[in-house]
Chain A
């Protein structure tokens, strides 16, 4: 018969207690007894949801300090600077929606909306134009390009991208959809208008623009694949992206976010192809937003990795 020596609790094994307070009112919301020291924040969030079912884990922000940064789901309780009784502060992040849902909705809209204008569905243009077709080749080409772009985005959302965050605040979907759907309608209205004027330099201009567009679409896709391969499925690791054998990824030598670079390039191509001012404005607004994101990403790369390649700029080689 095996004799077991008396169990000595070490501090590592001692079950922890966790109290959760509201970050603003300091009201005690929940007290968890006998929490495993190796429990993760994710598990604590699940326990908290049991007592407060309206606050599902995605909308919980738990932190050690009421005004501090949110703890990550992977953080382990015993590795935090807390005693055996941990005090965590809770902030409600508001209703959440998954990134995938947001992306699919915001991209499906433009795809569908543009086609409404392309097919000249009634009540958009004068009734004599209902369901007529443009006589300009570039208009048909533009429809193919625009549709291709958004189909590509939808497929990438479903099969390529690996999201580090599961959710975002619900109000973002309204904001984002207004932006994408609104601009799509605005652009599509003019490009498919019966009084549309084709580009000044004719077929030459369209061919050049198409080349830019196709190259940038391929480039953008290559970057998305390269970024996907950096991160194994189900993980949230972050690594420095480097050029691969694919020549489109060589842009990584010069910029941190070549996917944004290529995206701007695609829209510039589309603007030249259609010679439509609203498209140019959409490109400009998109460029501004992507520059902000690229700068943020660039900054966090620099912060996280000591050996980050110094030649790289956030979005435009050498410039921005």
Chain B
């Protein structure tokens, strides 16, 4: 009973069919952040409660679906509008650059400040989970935002030679489209007026965007490997006082390898979410 009516209610958009007021909003990045999909796979929340598939997330959502305070609603609405606008600005800047210059070389440099600002600002989403105004678990949100921060600050920002790689544009495009869709989805959900096409976009774009983004990220890290090995950046060697060592080169290799188990988990989780939200399918979850 529970699932079917929830999915149906979700089908009608964030409607008053649900108990509390505006649905809790900012939920984790949907595509191109495999991060720790093992943790992810247990809950990809979204603005409507149709997404709350796994039992524990469902209970968490129900527990937190007390009436969102007015202040929280206002703040979240502002936050989501701001993020939508920010990524829109990024998208426009990228298009303009390409139209004016005809090449992707130098594109990253021209948009890097905006990218860093808005992607770093997304750290707030962890705080939203911590204080409970968003029903996602802190761990899930944390892992997803961290993987984006990692990509922006520890790869593209720090390893300058790869900034003009095509793969960078690849994941930037994927991220931009994803984030604009996601944040506008949350915004409209909060305003209780979700156009179907936004929901459709949120649950269909990822099918292409997610693999594209993952490809972009992996190719970028791969391109960075020779420079990391040569410079020994971010690495600690023995001997040292604290008897520890860290090799950033191997760390990157392990990170790349981790996409293999994590990406499919996350991808199939989103596919299941999609079937539920868009097609009202009742999916009996595996026992844990």
The 8 A CB mask of A190-206 against B (1 = contact, 0 = none) is: 11010111001000000
Does A190 lie within 8 Å of B239, measured CB to CB? no
B241 near A275 with CB under 8 A, answer yes
- On whether the beta carbons of B242 and A193 are closer than 8 Å, the reply is no
Q: Contact size class for A?
A: 10 to 19
Give bound CA distance, A277 to B238, whole Å: 12
User: Shortest Cβ distance from A26 into chain B, in angstroms?
Assistant: 12
**Docked-complex contact A196 and B287, CB < 8 angstroms:** no
The interface bits of chain A over 21-54 (1 if a CB of B lies within 8 angstroms of the residue's CB, else 0) are: 0001100000000000000000000000000000
Q: Which residue of A lies closest to B245 (CB)?
A: A190
> Is B240 part of the binding interface, using a Cβ–Cβ cutoff of 8 Å?
yes
Q: Is B243 in contact with A191, judged by CB distance below 8 angstroms?
A: yes
In the assembled complex, B71 has its CB within 8 A of some CB on chain A? no
Interface string of B232-246 (1 = CB under 8 A from A): 000000111111110
**A278 touches B (CB below 8 Å):** yes
The residue that A276 contacts in the complex, of B244, B284, B287, with Cβ under 8 A, is B244
B163-192 interface mask toward A, CB cutoff 8 Å, 1 = contact, 0 = none? 000000000000000000000000000000
List chain B residues, Cβ under 8 A from A190: 238, 243-245
Q: Residues of B contacting A94 with CB < 8 Å?
A: 287
CB-based contact A196/B241 at 8 Å = no
Check A274 for interface membership: any CB of B closer than 8 A. Answer: yes
Cα A196 to Cα B239 in complex, Å, equals 6
Instruction: Tell me how far the C-beta of A93 lies from the nearest C-beta in chain B, rounded to whole angstroms.
Output: 8
Contact A195 B239 (CB under 8 A): yes
Interface residue A92 (Cβ < 8 Å from any Cβ of B): yes
With a CB–CB cut-off of 8 A, which chain A residues contact B241? 197, 200, 275
Are B287 and A193 in contact, CB atoms less than 8 angstroms apart?
Answer: no
- Give the complex CA separation of A274 and B243 in angstroms: 9
Decide: A277 and B287 in contact? CB cutoff 8 A: no
Tell me the smallest distance from the CB of B137 to a CB of chain A, in Å.
Answer: 15
The complex places the Cα of A22 from the Cα of B124 at a distance, in Å, of 43
Q: B239 touching A278 by the CB < 8 A rule?
A: no
Contacts of A278 in B (CB 8 A): 243-244
Once bound together, how far apart are the Cα atoms of A25 and B284, in whole Å? 9
**In chain B, what residue has the closest Cβ to A190?**
B243
- Describe A's contact surface by its main secondary structure: loop
In the assembly, what is the distance between CA of A200 and CA of B242, in Å?
9
* Docked-complex contact B244 and A193, CB < 8 angstroms: no
Q: How large, as a class, is the contact surface on chain B?
A: 10 to 19
Contact A24 B243 (CB under 8 A): no
A269 to chain B, nearest CB (A): 16
Residue in chain B with minimal CB distance to A169: B288
Which residues 259-288 of B have a CB within 8 angstroms of A?
Answer: 284, 287
Interface residue A91 (Cβ < 8 Å from any Cβ of B): yes
Write out the residue numbers on chain A whose beta carbons fall within 8 Å of the beta carbon of B239. Answer: 195-197
Judging by beta carbons under 8 Å apart, are A275 and B242 in contact? yes
Q: How many angstroms between the C-alpha atoms of A70 and B136 in the bound complex? A: 27
Alpha-carbon separation in the docked complex, A91 to B244 (Å): 46
Cα–Cα, bound, A276→B243 (Å)? 5
Q: Cβ of A277 and Cβ of B284 under 8 Å apart?
A: no
What 1/0 flags go to A255-283 for Cβ under 8 Å of B? 00000000000000000001111100000
The complex places the Cα of A191 from the Cα of B284 at a distance, in Å, of 49
A193 to B240, CA, bound (A): 12
Q: How far is the CA of A195 from the CA of B242 in the complex (A)?
A: 11
Specify which chain B residues have a CB less than 8 angstroms from the CB of A274 in the assembled complex. 243
B243: chain A residues within 8 A (beta carbon): 190-191, 193, 196-197, 274-278
> What CA separation (Å) do A93 and B243 show in the bound complex?
43
Q: Which residue of B lies closest to A200 (CB)?
A: B241
Q: A191 vs B241: C-alpha distance in the bound complex, in angstroms? A: 12
Contact with A along B241-263 (1 / 0, CB 8 A): 11111000000000000000000
Tell me how far the C-beta of A24 lies from the nearest C-beta in chain B, rounded to whole angstroms: 6
Given contacts A276-B243, A277-B243, contact A193 B284 (CB under 8 A): no
User: CA A275 – CA B245 in complex, angstroms?
Assistant: 13
List residues of chain A with CB within 8 A of the CB of B238.
190, 193, 195
How many Å lie between the Cα of A191 and that of B240 in the bound state? 12
Q: Which of B212-241 contact A (CB under 8 A)?
A: 238-241
Interface residues of A in 182-238 (CB under 8 A from B): 190-191, 193, 195-197, 200
Q: Tell me, rounded to whole Å, the shortest Cβ–Cβ distance linking B221 to chain A.
A: 23
Residues of B within 8 A of A275 (CB): 241-243
Bound form: Cα–Cα A197–B243 in Å: 6
Contacts of B245 in A (CB 8 A): 190
* Nearest CB in chain A to that of B284: its residue: A24
- Nearest B residue to A94 via CB reads B287
Measured CB to CB, the closest approach of chain B to A245, in angstroms, equals 41
CA distance A185 to B239 in the complex (A): 18
**Complex: how many Å from CA A190 to CA B236?**
13
**Beta-carbon contact of B287 and A91 below 8 Å:** yes
Residues of chain B touching chain A, judged by Cβ–Cβ distance below 8 Å, are: 238-245, 284, 287
What are 21 sample pairs from A and B whose C-beta atoms fall under 8 A apart?
A24-B287, A25-B284, A91-B287, A94-B287, A190-B245, A191-B243, A193-B238, A193-B243, A195-B239, A196-B239, A196-B243, A197-B239, A197-B240, A197-B243, A200-B241, A274-B243, A275-B241, A275-B243, A276-B242, A276-B244, A277-B244
Q: A196-B243, A197-B240, A277-B242 are in contact. List 19 more A-B contacts (CB 8 A).
A: A24-B284, A92-B287, A93-B287, A190-B238, A190-B244, A191-B243, A193-B238, A195-B238, A197-B241, A197-B243, A200-B241, A274-B243, A275-B241, A275-B243, A276-B242, A276-B243, A276-B244, A277-B243, A277-B244
